[in-house]
Structure 1
């Protein structure tokens, strides 16, 4: 982790091997066949089902659940993958309580929705365990497309383009493909190397090559890509991290939460990963929850999330907030950081209470301090490294329709593109739709 200084409060190996194994095991194990049948039997198979409307990838949820109910989970998986090729990951990380399950008729009537997410995992895991990829490539078109970024949007686009018969080269700045699925999601949601297994499974379609360690810059320019390829899709995500704007922010042991999560995800031995005794996470989204919970599971004694607005404004779902509380994470609302206190390394952080008014958020002037030997910033990311010549809107690459940018022959999708809500499932939908538009443009 960058900016980490080992102080008396920060240590590795706080727990036993058994504790690490238990804490980072699968948080929601796959349903067994009987459990899946029981769960599927609760579906009403609604006409004009609200769950489908609530799904960003528009999966035919009643159909795939009916296929599970009739004992054909592999057919159910094909229904899912035809709309969302990363349906396995989305089954694990989607905020289903806000999307499909939140719209479920059973949720409105009984307060207990059909377990759509777990049923989706049951189906997709069943098919992914098979050796045969469910889709085949169309006849070669002779067209070559460059995809920059191997996250959810880039991978979804690459697969759809390859399926159409195009040849795709994916460039990614990291050592492994997967983007946030590999580097940015809590490890207990995707244990046992699932993110990489999913990438390898996706690549079985053929026609896709991945070149790692290549980012837009001096060695890989948009101008050169446009000259070499028939189309270019930018799926570069958001590489920059917002600043706190607090005095002393550069003090040691003030970290970016995304870096903490990435290091944890790539760690071969969690017992060697240092964590503070008193950890404070600043932010209110899923990154804040994932960082805080994992710090607690690594053995931090006190973990506190501080969010500048009220509970209802948090980006993390109610379910995720409750999970954080269940493992001992405290959440403080309506407070913003104003000063980091320490001599070389952080010792305390001072917050001011906030309140919302007609003119927006303001500090009340009343302050408090929290003891902290490790502070993690999870206050959002921003676009970094966007090529010149692209129109920008709201801090992201401006797009119209299914990902068309201001430059001919260049599309953008995922978190880097304007619109959307920075969810894995939304990125998949945007990548898929951009691929369809690229195909239509290239084939006339």
Structure 2
């Protein structure tokens, strides 16, 4: 796998391709926020349905008609609190949640053939404007004296920790990286959560009190599951997905071939977008949100040609239709029905990718057609998905937790096969690996832990 330095001296990979002003524009918020007038007009389009289908479609169960009515009446603080009651990461979810396939898809106006209420934009408006000058809107209950370890400082862990602290328990978050935030801090496109929004949201969550944070502390390296179980009254695992799937094709080890998630993390953590090297011709392999995020950001870093290649058709992509359209309107070419056969290079650096056209046989199985084509490239980004790494759980030859489809098996409350251990978020089998689902999983697990500790 390639690295972000320029030691390969490829003439077509360089930093600083754009003027400084262009970087500021390209990595600003992709969606302009609503102003008071447009927010009020949009809020008044809502029918304020009883048993609203949009509310049922929200994984965290936000009272959507309730917070929109408060916007319509000018009560922005009330709207923000109504959102946070169910989703303490309501600000980031308003920005990167696929509302077009969740709440907005279920909007009654859409069913009537009209444009749905722009619920995500209204949620962002409330969160951005309703908390100014307010103290933290939630208070801790009387301390219970119970201690809970939360492993992982991503959306699931943060939601679980905040709710547990609110319920009066003392929480310690163990995070392997240098910052809390997980996917929001390291894994989404900069233009979705710009201007350190993820860090500011974490700071807001910490205002509840009762939460200790241990950064740079990894499960399996610095602490073990057995030690946490012996020291704490309960353990919540919000480990996320730690490994990037390999292409399993020849040439994957060449310089200029990158994991998309690593490069996105570099974009998220830099203070100088002009310092990031990017090629003129980019190939992205994958069909999910990560593939879209790296493709668009490569273009915004100054790449001239960005081609995203996916092995199936557009309907099979896990990236929503909205995301696919966004990529195409940002200069990304999406090519369907093709898979990589091998990556070829010169002097150890990738220079082209050989693809094979694919099709479905009569049984619906994906097959190669035998017809090939070539895309010349300077950089290749792998974005074909991530997988759960169970190794940190092992303290012998096997994991003490039951796994399912390569992830932790947990029930609807997050309870695992090991007494006193809960899990939630992307590390648990099932779901669509959405931030909003992780928030709900952390919240439900917190209440389950609370019930167990109070027995």
Partner residue in 1 for 2:322: 319
Kindly indicate whether the alpha-carbon contact (under 8 Å) linking 1:279 and 1:300 is maintained by their aligned counterparts in 2: yes
How does 1:381-420 map onto structure 2 within 5 Å? 381-384=386-389, 385-387=391-393, 388-420=399-431
Mapped partners of 1:33, 1:442: distance in 2: 45
- Bigger shift: residues 412-421 or 385-394: 385-394
Q: Which of 6, 17, 21 is 1:18 aligned to? A: 21
Whether 1:376 and 2:376 are equivalent positions in the alignment is: no
Q: For 2:255 and 2:27, how far apart are their aligned partners in 1?
A: 28
- Structure 2 CA distance, aligned partners of 1:270 and 1:125? 25
Q: Does 1:345 align with 2:315?
A: no
Q: Is the 8 A contact 1:336 1:353 kept in 2?
A: yes
Q: Secondary structure at the match of 1:353?
A: strand
**1-structure distance, mates of 2:53, 2:228:** 42
Matches within 5 A, 1:236-315: 236-315=239-318
- Distance in 2, matches of 1:47 and 1:10, equals 56
SS in 2 for 1:347: strand
Matched, 1:166 2:169: yes
Question: What pairs up with 1:11-90 in 2 under 5 angstroms?
Answer: 11-90=14-93
Partner of 1:439: 450
- Say if 2:221 and 2:392, in contact at 8 Å, map to a contact too: no
- C-alpha distance in 2, partners of 1:373/1:440? 55
Give the TM-score taking structure 2 as reference length: 0.96
Is the 8 Å Cα contact of residues 77 and 124 (structure 1) preserved in structure 2?
Answer: yes
Q: CA deviation at 1:386?
A: 4.2
Q: How far 1:105 moved relative to its partner?
A: 1.3
Q: Secondary structure at the match of 1:416?
A: coil
User: 1:97-150: per-residue Cα shift (whole Å, max 9, x none)?
Assistant: 011111111122234110100100111112333340010000000000000000
Paired residue total: 444
Three-state SS of the structure 1 residue aligned to 2:443 is: helix
Whole-Å separation in 1 of the counterparts to 2:221 and 2:169: 27
In structure 2, stretches of 5+ residues that fail to align are 394-398
Q: Using the alignment, how far apart are the partners of 1:434 and 1:180 within structure 2? A: 19
Give the distance between the partners of 1:204 and 1:215, measured in 2 at CA: 24
For 1:110 and 1:71, the matched residues in 2 are separated by: 28
Alignment of 1:108-147 (within 5 A): 108-147=111-150
Q: Pick closer, same or farther for the CA change 1:2–1:235 going to 2, 3 Å.
A: farther
Q: Shift of the alpha carbon at 1:78?
A: 1.0
Moved more, 106-115 or 420-429: 106-115
For the aligned residue pairs, the C-alpha RMSD in angstroms reads 1.1
TM-score, structure 1 length as denominator?
0.98
SS of the equivalent of 2:352 reads: strand
Between stretches 17-26 and 294-303, larger displacement belongs to 17-26
Matching of residues 188-267 of structure 1 within 5 Å: 188-267=191-270
**Is the 8 Å Cα contact of residues 2 and 259 (structure 1) preserved in structure 2?**
no
Q: Does 1:150 align with 2:161?
A: no
Task: Give the aligned partner of residue 356 of structure 1.
Answer: 360
Instruction: Provide the C-alpha distance between the structure 2 equivalents of 1:111 and 1:174, rounded to a whole number of angstroms.
Output: 45
Moved more, 258-267 or 120-129: 120-129
Matched with 2:396 is: none
Distance in 2, Cα, partners of 1:265 & 1:420: 26
Native 8 Å contact 1:348 1:371 kept in 2: yes
Residue 105 of structure 2: SS of its match in structure 1? Answer: helix
- Give 5+ residue unaligned stretches, structure 1: none
Q: CA offsets per residue over residues 316-349 of structure 1, 9 Å max, x none?
A: 1111111101111000011111100103010000
Confirm or deny: 8 A CA contact 1:128 1:201 kept in the other structure: no
Alpha-carbon distance, 1:2 to partner: 4.5
Question: Is the 8 Å Cα contact of residues 76 and 130 (structure 2) preserved in structure 1?
Answer: yes
